[in-house]
């Protein structure tokens, strides 16, 4: 059940965001991975299927850290609608809530979760049950910003995609994170070193060592994806 909820959580967040990356060619992004060492979230959404089971470093802004154990993190891309999830591996420990709003580099194996019709129907059932709850419960959910009608609309889109994509499921890609760097910047001084996170869309992301040495110090910074 926990695995089901995680798959649905990722899928609800991603929606159709992969469609926003079609203008960036897979070949161009793949070349930038070899040249840079870290790529943007936006590019990850393009190349993830080709790197399934392989290690990548992805840079972006932390939008949310799971409050229950800090094992999951949501990383935003250039576009607010483009994001991925990272799941901490056993040996890595946990993400810190203080990371929210920071630029980070996540390094880990590209993993895939498959959402088939059974998963979608299970989610649909839970949404409909919630809609039939008592008025007080419905009001509580409304206060939390839950829009059941929007959820049902998304479910309908998922069903249509599953029926038409020839696979019988929807793939969602995320990172099984083994390490991460939190990047610090100093508004008074330029960062010591910059890593070109994605040459395909010309994004430069400053990134520090894992010890988070501020940019103004004498210690040199490693670029995103560099050695700690």
Residue 95's pLDDT is 92
Instruction: Assign residue 82 a region (left: φ > 0; alpha: ψ between -120 and 50; beta: otherwise).
Output: beta
Q: How far is CA 108 from CA 55, 72, 82, 123, 181, in A?
A: 5, 13, 19, 29, 12
CATH classification of 1-228 is 2.40.30.10, yes or no?
no
Q: Are strands 72-76 and 83-88 parallel, antiparallel or unpaired?
A: antiparallel
In the three-class reduction of DSSP (H, G, I as helix; E, B as strand; rest coil), residue 96 is classed as coil
- Predicted pLDDT of residue 75: 94
- pLDDT tens, the chain, 228 aa long: 444 444 454 444 433 333 333 444 444 544 445 445 689 999 999 999 999 999 999 999 999 999 888 999 999 998 878 999 999 999 888 998 989 999 999 999 999 999 999 999 999 999 988 888 755 555 655 545 678 889 999 999 999 999 999 999 999 999 999 999 887 544 433 332 333 333 333 333 334 333 333 333 433 344 444 444
Q: Which residue matches tokens 């709850």?
A: 133
What is the pLDDT, as a whole number, of residue 178?
95
Q: Determine phi and psi for 102, rounding to 5 degrees.
A: -90, 155
The pTM score is: 0.63
Domain ranges of the chain: 1-228
């Amino acid at each position: 059940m926990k695995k089901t909820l995680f798959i649905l959580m990722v899928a609800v967040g991603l929606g159709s965001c992969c469609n926003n990356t079609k203008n960036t060619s897979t070949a161009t992004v793949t070349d930038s991975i070899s040249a840079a060492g870290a790529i943007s979230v936006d590019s990850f959404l393009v190349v993830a299927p080709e790197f399934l089971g392989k290690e990548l470093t992805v840079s972006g802004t932390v939008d949310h850290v799971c409050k229950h154990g800090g094992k999951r993190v949501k990383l935003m891309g250039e576009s607010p609608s483009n994001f991925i999830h990272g799941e901490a591996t056993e040996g890595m420990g946990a993400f810190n809530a203080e990371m929210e709003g920071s630029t980070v580099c996540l390094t880990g194996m590209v993993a895939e979760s498959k959402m088939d019709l059974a998963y979608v129907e299970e989610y649909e059932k839970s949404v409909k049950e919630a809609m039939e709850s008592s008025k007080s419960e419905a009001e509580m959910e409304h206060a939390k910003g839950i829009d059941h009608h929007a959820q049902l609309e998304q479910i309908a889109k998922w069903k249509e995609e599953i029926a038409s994509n020839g696979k019988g499921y929807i793939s969602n890609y995320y990172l099984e994170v083994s390490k991460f760097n939190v990047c610090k910047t100093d508004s008074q001084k330029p960062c010591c070193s910059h890593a070109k996170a994605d040459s395909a869309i010309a994004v430069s992301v400053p990134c520090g060592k894992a010890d988070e040495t501020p940019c103004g110090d004498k210690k040199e910074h490693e670029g995103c994806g560099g050695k700690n």
